Chains A and B, each alone.
Chain A
C-alpha cells in the first residue's frame, strides 16, 4: 500500500537518477537510443489512448452536435452546439442534484462508520480483529442484487423504500469495506510515539482519534471519501430496486429511463451521459495520485 502510494508522486523524478547509472559505456549513442525508444513509446501510448478512449470521445462528440439525424453525424463537431446539453439539463438537473445529495450523504456515513473501526482494527490489538478484517474482505463477494433482494423487503417493512435515507444507507455500504481496508492500512503505519505522546497529554482514545489520527490520515481519508462518492454516484442497482416512485431518482436511473423513452434523441442522451461522467473526470484531474493509489491499495492491502 505505502509503496503504491508513492509511485505516482515519484514518477517525474525516478528516471533521472536512473539514466546515468544505466549508461556506463559511450554516453551519446545510449541517450539517443533511449530518446528514440521514448518517442516510439509515446506514439504507441497515444494510439492505445486513442482506441480505448474513443467511446468517451464519441459520447462528447455526439452530445455537441445538433440534430436528431444521426446518419450525418460528423467525426468532429464543427461548432459547439449546446442544445443537447440544454435539453439534458432540463430533464435531468433534478436527478443530478439527487445524485449529489445521495453521494455526499453516503460519503459522510461511510467515513463516520469506517474511520473509528479502521483505527481500532489498526491500533488496539483486539482479539478477533483479524476476523473482522477478514469479514470485510469477504463482503466483496456478496452480489448487489442479492443484497437488494433482501433489502427491498426489509425496507418495505421499515418504510425506507423511496426515501433518501434508505438509498444513502444502502449506497454507503458500497464504500465501507473499501474504506476500512484502506484507512486501516494507513493507520497501521502511524508511528507509535506520536500516539503515545497524545495519550500522555491526557487524551482519551476518542480524543486521540479525532485530534491526532484523523488529521494525520488526511490523504487516506480523502482517497476513501472520493471512492465512496464515486461508488454511490455510480450506483444503479440500489437506485433501481429500492425506489418504486420518482421521489428519489439519481441520474443513473434517469439515464436508464431516458434510453427507454428517448431513443430518437441520442444527442440529449449522450449529453446526460457526459454530465454523469463529470465526477469521474474531476476526480482524475483533482486527485490523480489518490485514484491510482486507491485502486491498488484497496484491493491488495
Chain B
C-alpha cells in the first residue's frame, strides 16, 4: 500500500493530509492561536469596557511596564523557580529510589506499583483539598501526629505562615509527582540489559558503585526526558496552589501561573495577564530547547 502511495501524486497527498487536518487544526486553534493571541494581548489595553465595546486599543509597552513595576512579579518568578526546582528534586530523588527498589521484583510488587500511581491520577484540586485538611494548623492530622511523637513542640503553621507555605506546597507537589517519575524511571531500568550489571558485579562493583557507574549513565536519556517533562508540567501548575493556598498567605505562594490568573480573571486586566503568561512561556521555552536536544538522542535510539 505504501509503495503505491509513495508515488508523489498531488491529489493523493491531499487526501492523505485530510486525515491529519482535524488534529492539525485543533492544535493550531487550542495551542498555536493562544500563543499568538497572548503576545498580541500583551500590547493591548483590556478594561471592563472591553466587554461592552469589544475594543481593546493597543497601548504599546504599557502592560509590560506595569508588570515589571509590580513587585509581585519578581516575587512570583522567584517562587516559581523555587517551587519547580524543589518539586523536581524531591520527585526525582524519591521516584528514582522507588524505581530501583521495585526493579528487583518480589511478590505483590506489581500491585504495589499500581497503587502508588493513585496520588498522580486523582484530580490535583482533590489532592490540594485533602492536603489542606491534613496540614491544617489547629486540627490537621500531621501536626497532631508530630506533636504526639514529640517531633515538634508547637503546631507548625504549614499553610498559614508565609515562611512555611511555599515549602508545604512543594512537599505536596512532590507527593503528587513521585508516581510519574517512578513509572518512567522504572521503565527505563527494565530496558537496561541485566548482563551489564551482572558483569559489573563480577568485576567486584558494589551496589552503589554499580548504580552510579553502570545504571545511571545508561539511564541518562530517560533521566533527561523525565526531568524536562517534569519541568514543563511543574512550572505551569496552578490548580494545586489555588486549592491549597490561593497564592497566600501574604502572596508567599504566588507563582507566574497564579499571578496570570489573578491579573486576567480576577482583575480583568487581560493585557497584564498576557505579559506574565508570556514570561511563563519564555521560561518553558528555555527548557524546551534542552528537551529537544535530549529527545534527538532519544529518537535515535
> Taking beta carbons and an 8 Å cutoff, which residues of A are in contact with B?
3-4, 7-8, 11-12, 14-15, 37-38, 41-42, 44-46, 48-49, 52-53, 55-56, 58-59, 62, 70-71, 73, 112-114, 116-117, 119-121, 123-127, 129, 132, 135-154, 156-157, 169-170, 172-173, 176-177, 180, 192, 195-196, 199, 205, 208-209, 230, 233-237, 240-241, 252, 255-256, 259, 266, 269-270, 273, 276-277, 280-281, 283-284, 288, 291-292, 295-296, 299-301
Contacts and interface: CB of A to CB of B under 8 A. Distances in A.
Given A120-B20, A142-B34, A53 B118 contact: yes
B222 interface: yes
A49 B112 contact: yes
Contacts, number: 297
Given A150-B37, A236-B239, A300-B184, A55 B17 contact: no
A298 to B, nearest CB: 10
Contact of A256 (B16, B127, B242, B295): B242
B119 interface: yes
22 contacts: A3-B191, A48-B98, A48-B116, A58-B134, A73-B141, A113-B26, A141-B232, A150-B38, A150-B274, A151-B30, A153-B37, A170-B30, A192-B2, A208-B1, A234-B123, A252-B123, A255-B125, A255-B126, A276-B122, A280-B121, A296-B184, A299-B229
Nearest to A131: B24
Contacts of A145: 236, 238, 257, 260-261, 264, 277, 280
Secondary structure at the B interface, as helix, strand, loop or mixed, is: helix
B238 A144 contact: yes
Contact of B139 (A71, A126, A153, A176): A71
B201 to A, nearest CB: 12
Given A120-B16, A142-B35, A259-B132, A196 B184 contact: no
A88 to B, nearest CB: 12
A180 B23 contact: yes
A195 B70 CA distance: 60
Contact of A116 (B19, B132, B274): B19
Contact of A173 (B26, B222, B243): B26
Contacts of B264: 145, 148-149, 152, 241
B107 interface: yes
Given A123-B2, A236-B239, A132 B126 contact: no
Given A116-B19, A144-B236, A284-B117, A295 B229 contact: no
A46 to B, nearest CB: 8
B256 to A, nearest CB: 8
B125 A45 contact: no
B239 to A, nearest CB: 4
Given A113-B22, A145-B260, A284-B114, 18 more contacts: A3-B190, A55-B131, A117-B24, A120-B17, A132-B23, A143-B235, A145-B264, A145-B280, A146-B38, A149-B38, A150-B41, A192-B1, A209-B19, A236-B242, A256-B243, A284-B117, A295-B180, A300-B187
Contacts of A273: 126, 129-130
A115 B295 CA distance: 24
A235 B124 CA distance: 8
Contacts of B102: 45
A190 B5 CA distance: 17
Given A146-B280, A299-B225, A58 B130 contact: yes
A55 B244 CA distance: 14
A237 B243 CA distance: 11
A255 B260 CA distance: 22
Contacts of A8: 110, 114
A146 B257 CA distance: 9
Nearest to B130: A59
Contact of A277 (B22, B126, B133): B126
Nearest to B98: A48
Contacts of A170: 30
Contact of B1 (A195, A256, A284): A195
Contacts of B114: 8, 284, 288, 291-292
Nearest to B25: A113
